Amino acid sequence: MLARRIIPCLDVKDRAVVKGVRFRAHERVGDAVALAETYRDAGADELVFYDITASAERRTLDYGWVREIAHALDIPFCVAGGIRSVEAAVKCLENGADKVSINSPALERPDLIDEIAAVAGSQCVVAGVDSLHVNNDWFVYQYTGSEAATQESGRRTLDWIKEAQERGAGEIVLNCMDQDGVRAGYDIGQLRAARDLLTIPLIASGGAGTMAHFRDVFEGADVSGALAASVFHKNVFTIPDLKERLDQWGVSVRR
């Protein structure tokens, strides 16, 4: 069995890490590079950095900031934020990122997934999907880093993740917006439905509040990794303690 990945998520705004609840009311929780180093030393398997306002502000992320993160880390990391071209994706990779995640720009122009995969390889392309439960179904939202700009994309979540896979995405991060920041557990039903459609790795995002929530999502939705933010930022529990407990529960993790 492949080891399951524990992935701290760092939402970045003006080079500071912030955290909200259901993508709203963000508060500052620390410096991006300092937190990245802390999670590296704690045994995180990889890190994800989202420049949360880049897409809504119609800009790309700061390549110098990507380079700073790369200099500080010796574990894989993924970056996201306003990556609207192959050139922007390649610059992120050239400055040290291992993967790029595209969300709103891919919804604007789905061919972007194909284009980046053709140049950089599917292993470098992550499709980030922000999903909300509406009228007994799940729908994709975009520009979610800005409360004023957030809007429904008009796409069903399960349709979109399947299309993203077909276009060449090598991994899906499914952000379940209803669960984000509330620490009530991952949306197992939605993640299980997504897992059943995919052959590529699926990463769960949104809802971690206890160690048992990680066990539940690995066992109940068979995801490859679990992404979390507030439980790590606020030191609810540590990554070493989480991995030890998961190991005791029979979940394969890197120690």
Q: DSSP alpha helices (H): ranges in the chain?
A: 32-42, 63-72, 86-94, 104-108, 111-120, 157-167, 188-197, 211-221, 230-233, 239-248
As given in the structure block, the two tokens for residue 214 are: 């990680």
Q: What is the CATH number of the domain that holds 77?
A: 3.20.20.70
Is residue 84 included in any domain, yes or no?
yes
Is residue 34 predicted with pLDDT exceeding 80?
yes
pLDDT digits (tens, 9 = 90+) for 123-150: 999 999 999 999 999 999 988 766 777 7
Q: Band of the pLDDT at 54, cuts 50, 70, 90?
A: confident
Q: Are 17 and 110 in contact (CB under 8 A)?
A: no
Please state the pTM of the whole predicted model: 0.92
- Per the structure, how many domains does the chain have? 1
Is residue 254 included in any domain, yes or no?
no
- DSSP result, 110-126: THHHHHHHHHH-GGGEE
- Which of 109, 147, 134 lies closest to 22, judged by CA? 147
Q: Are 207 and 230 in contact (CB under 8 A)?
A: no
In whole angstroms, give the CA distance from residue 177 to residue 141: 9
In whole angstroms, give the CA distance from residue 81 to residue 222: 27
- Which residues lie below 8 Å from residue 250, measured CB to CB, with a gap of 6+? none
Catalytic residue selected from 45, 51, 130, 187: 130
> Domain of 174?
5-248
Is residue 51 annotated as a catalytic residue, yes or no?
no
Is residue 253 included in any domain, yes or no?
no
Q: Are 228 and 24 in contact (CB under 8 A)?
A: no
pLDDT of 56: 72
Q: Are 215 and 4 in contact (CB under 8 A)?
A: no
Is residue 247 annotated as a catalytic residue, yes or no?
no
Is residue 255 included in any domain, yes or no?
no
pLDDT digits (tens, 9 = 90+) for 95-108: 999 999 999 999 99
pLDDT digits (tens, 9 = 90+) for 202-216: 999 999 999 999 999
Catalytic residue selected from 11, 45, 187, 216: 11
Is residue 204 included in any domain, yes or no?
yes
In whole angstroms, give the CA distance from residue 78 to residue 226: 14
pLDDT digits (tens, 9 = 90+) for 227-243: 999 899 889 999 999 99
Is residue 162 included in any domain, yes or no?
yes
Is residue 14 predicted with pLDDT exceeding 90?
no
